Amino acid sequence: MRRRIDDLADREFDALVVGGGIQGIAVFYELAHAGLKAALIEKDDFAGATSANSLKVIHGGLRYLQTGDLGRMRRSIRARRKFMQLAPDLVRPQGFLIPTARRGLQHAMPMRAALCLNDWISLDRNWGLPKASALPPGAVLPQRKLGPVFAGDRSAFSTGAALWYDGLIHNAGRFSIALIKSAVQAGGIACNYTRAKRYLNHADKICGVEAIDCETGEKLAIRAKLVIDAAATGHARLQNRTHGLEESRGGCWLKATNLVLSRALCGDYAVGLPGTQDALTGEISASPESRYFFFVPYSDHTLFGTFYFALEGLPETLSVNKDEINLMLAQARQLCPDANLTIADVSMGHVGVVPADQDSAGPVARIEKKASIRPGSRQNGNEGLIVVQGVKYTESFELAKGVVSLVGTMLGRRNSLSTSDRLPIDPTDAARPIPQLVQKAVRDEMAIHLADFVLRRTTIGELGYPGDELTRECAQAMAAEADWHPERVEKELATLRGHYQSMGAEMA
């Protein structure tokens, strides 16, 4: 899979997808496998922002039982199954525990009823999955059967626990690249570091975008019958540039942040404990309106979150500041007092952006619950445009199915959806030396910068700064493969260090 940017300008596509996060990648994958001439462009690296920094959970919507949203629950169950069918080596079953209580909805009896209902609604959850990927039924476990499941607070499960299973994605970067490669093999064209500057318009109809190759600065026109804008926060900027208006963040957004702890606190199970955090002030407090914060075991580390912080403006690059790190650590210490966590246990933060519900009542901003697919119209001067906004990583394929259906209607053709054939996924990082991994990433996976390789084509730096020696080894290998001069090597190293510093990583 090569970066063939010249191929973007020499044909007309049925559909051009702008935005290479998981939502745009899923749409591109489905379009290509539906037999459409599809293209995907991303201004940075594929799945390099929010999509890389989630809590990694591919969930089946158990939480939606509480609100009675069975439609969304079923969509989540189907989506989880598709993830696990496509990449069973990367999306694996993960047990989740939350404490039961002596009374109320968290008592063992209503918990048991909820888990039984969840199992019944998801009877088809294991259809087409390999045996090792099958999700067991939920259960309520008494304290005596739990053992030392959580090192953070040995009293957390004094009355027992509710157990259910979801998927956990290991190496989201490799999963995204595998999807793109599959779409390219089906006839699609994808290019990272290609920024859409403005929509192209002919006869009051959007017919493509003017784009810039971020590596050379050259402009190109990409023509398409339909433009699918999945750029999330970038949509308003693209729209305003088209009309010569000032830059705007558009919409209302929250910064979603998880803490990466360098210690394994959970054993085999992810653990959810109730707490409260004000998304506007960041303040943590004891409140009846609590939600669960999860400690998720991941590669000998623990992911903890998710926290939400209101955004003032929308910077080009996101960061986690010291106050936010300290606030998240304080909540972790409150929920797991036996672990004696300190700042030395914080490896880094993971940060992304999620849409906020602009109509939510009260002073606390809430996450938008509904994904949207909004076609343009001639009346509004944007016929030929489809604006897509996802809200959950898990639901990306369900959203993509809706887009493919709408594209088929707009183009007057009947599209078939992709099958759930297993993606070809390369061996794990540890199986090959760095020069071989670099060669594969540069030649076949569109790794353009050092950060692409360290953070997303491999897991070398996914959970914290790998150290000066290892990052320089990676840079030297990329220099040999991509013919970098010494100044480029130092620039790439400095940029990578800057990324980790902005994520609150310990750089010693």
Examine residue 288 and state whether it is found in any structural domain, yes or no: yes
Give domain status of residue 235, yes or no.
yes
pLDDT at 368: 83
**What's the sign of the alpha-carbon dihedral 147, 150, 156, 161?**
negative
CA–CA separation, 410 and 398 (whole Å): 19
Separation of alpha carbons 216 and 307, rounded Å = 38
* CATH classification at residue 388: 3.50.50.60
Residue type, 176: S
- Rounded to an integer, what is the distance from CA 47 to the centroid of its chain? 7
Is residue 258 located within the same domain as residue 358?
yes
pLDDT for 380: 82
**Token output for 435:** 């020069």
Shared-domain flag, residues 244 and 374: yes
Tell me the C-alpha distance between 103 and 117, whole Å.
20
Its domain, for residue 436, covers: 429-502
Residues with Cβ within 8 Å of residue 341, at least 6 apart in sequence: 152, 261, 263, 329, 332, 333
333 and 271 in a single domain? The answer is: yes
Are 281 and 340 in the same domain?
A: yes
Predicted pLDDT at 245: 46
294 within domain boundaries: yes
> Tens of pLDDT along the chain (508 residues)?
999 999 999 899 999 999 999 999 999 999 999 999 999 999 999 999 999 999 999 999 999 998 999 999 999 999 999 999 999 999 999 999 999 998 888 899 999 999 999 999 999 999 999 999 999 999 999 988 887 788 878 788 889 999 999 999 999 999 999 999 999 999 999 999 999 999 999 888 999 999 999 999 999 999 999 999 999 877 666 776 655 545 555 568 889 999 999 999 998 999 999 987 654 445 554 444 578 999 999 999 999 999 998 887 677 788 999 999 999 999 999 999 999 999 999 999 999 999 887 665 444 557 888 899 999 988 888 899 999 999 999 999 999 999 999 999 999 988 777 776 789 887 656 678 999 999 999 999 999 999 999 999 999 999 999 999 999 999 999 999 999 999 999 999 999 999 999 999 987 6
Look at the block and give the residue holding tokens 């993830």.
83
Q: Is residue 117 part of a domain?
A: no
354 lies in the same domain as 257: yes
Q: Are strands 219-229 and 12-18 parallel, antiparallel or unpaired?
A: parallel
Q: Give the per-residue SS3 of 276-291.
A: CECCCCCCECCCCCCE
Judgement on whether residues 288 and 437 belong to the same structural domain of the protein: no
Whether residues 392 and 469 share a domain: the answer is no
Verify that 243 and 340 share a domain, yes or no.
no
pLDDT at 149: 83
Q: How many domains does the chain have?
A: 3
Tell me whether residue 24 is in a domain: yes
* DSSP-based helix, strand, coil % in the chain, nearest 5: 35, 25, 40
Q: What is the C-alpha separation between 325 and 318, in angstroms, rounded?
A: 14
**Which residue among 330, 346, 364 closes a domain?**
364
Do both 304 and 278 map to the same domain? Answer: yes
pLDDT given at position 316:
73
Report if residue 508 sits inside a domain. Answer: no
Do residues 243 and 261 both lie within one domain? no
Q: Which residues contact 380 (CB under 8 A, 6 or more apart)?
A: none
| Domain containing residue 354: CATH number | 3.30.9.10
In a domain, 121, yes or no: no
- Separation of alpha carbons 99 and 83, rounded Å: 28
Answer whether residue 492 is part of any domain: yes
Cβ contact 454:45 at 8 Å: no
pLDDT of residue 84: 97
Q: In which region does residue 452 sit, left (phi positive, over 0), alpha (psi from -120 to 50) or beta (all else)? A: alpha
DSSP category for residue 455: I
CB 49 within 8 A of CB 315: no
Verify that 46 and 181 share a domain, yes or no: yes
> Which of 488-496's residues contact partners 24+ apart within 8 Å by CB, and which partners?
492/449, 492/450, 492/451, 493/450, 495/449, 495/450, 495/451, 496/450, 496/451, 496/454, 496/461, 496/471
Q: Looking at the chain, how many residues does it have?
A: 508
Please give the pLDDT value at position 250. 57
